[in-house]
Amino acid sequence: MEDMNRRARMLGVLLPVAVSAGLLLIVYRRVDPGALVTGLGQADPAWTVLYVLLSFVEPVLRGLRWSLLIGTRSPGTAIRGLFISKAGNNLLPLRMGDAVRAQFVRDRAGIPYSRSAASILAESILDLVLLGAIVLVFGVFLASRRGMVLAAVLLAAIPALALLAMKLPGRLPARIRHSAPLVLFERISGHLKTMYGENGRNALLASTLALWALTLSTSYCGLRMFLPSVPFLGVIATTVFVYFSVLIPSAPGFIGTYHAAVAGSLALMGHDLRDYAAAPIAIHLLQFIPQTLAGLALGAGYLFSNDWGRAWEGLKAARAGLLGGGRST
């Protein structure tokens, strides 16, 4: 039994590395290494600086939103946990970032695994809903000549629809209302109202909208480092591709999957990767390096002195208890 567990863990480490290596080979198989080095020096300096700055702001804003979800009145703790978890995802195998931040706020603020698990699931639901709304809006734009007007109306309506969704679960039929995602949504919504009043839920919505506006802006700046102009639909494509690429098992730092996502968006915009081979590497590295260094500066000792396997098991058990109606610490 122990041998089987050891083999499973080894496979869990090696398979993502193989996925990363395979994707890098596919993306760069026809690219001249000399052109790649030359291309890195062609990044626009102004857009590069702006891209790096926005890459620092993203974990701050995500940490502020997370502080609302876990119910801590110390946003700095959540922000620091987010940066350390970014470093964890970029340096540790098996995507340990969620375990890192859950353990950090447990140690520093007494937040139980169950609340961290609920908050991480809630983050995913919020992000997927808003990302889906953005894709729908611009799908309408693509499908119709009059789509620009309709897209603008729908985009403006997203905050109002999100507020309505926060009040809707209590009015749905019991069978739907008691499904796991809506139970989770109601718990988070009620928790925010208890902690912060009605303003808490509004702050959660505002922070989510601001986070995605920042994410789209960061994608735009990353592409503008190399492209003279970027259509907004290209920004949407890059953001969507990157969001889903990090869900694919890969080596630490999302190596390979991230590069394939950016390369795919460039191809969708009609660009030959051989002309912009440096773009996926630069866009990845200029986010990977600053965020990793910031996470290490804020908690290198913490990151490398904990048993993250045990923390991961605790978070996984809490998530199972949450979805199954059980309880966990």
Tens digits of residue pLDDT in 155-197:
555 555 555 555 555 555 555 555 555 666 666 666 556 655 6
Query: Whole-angstrom Cα distance, residue 30 to residue 273?
Result: 9
The residue among 94 and 180 whose pLDDT is bigger is: 94
| Other CB atoms within 10 Å distance of the CB of residue 304 | 13
Torsion-angle region of 300 (φ positive above 0: left; ψ -120 to 50: alpha; else: beta)? alpha
Query: Whole-angstrom Cα distance, residue 61 to residue 244?
Result: 20
Query: Whole-angstrom Cα distance, residue 23 to residue 21?
Result: 6
Tens digits of residue pLDDT in 194-217:
655 666 777 888 898 899 999 999
Q: What is the pLDDT of residue 185?
A: 62
Tens digits of residue pLDDT in 14-57:
899 999 999 999 999 988 888 888 888 899 999 999 999 999 99
pTM: 0.85
Percent of the chain whose predicted confidence (pLDDT) is above 90: 45
Q: For residue 90, name the pLDDT band (cuts at 50, 70, 90).
A: very high
Torsion of CA 167, 172, 177, 182, to 10 degrees: -40
| Other CB atoms within 10 Å distance of the CB of residue 131 | 17
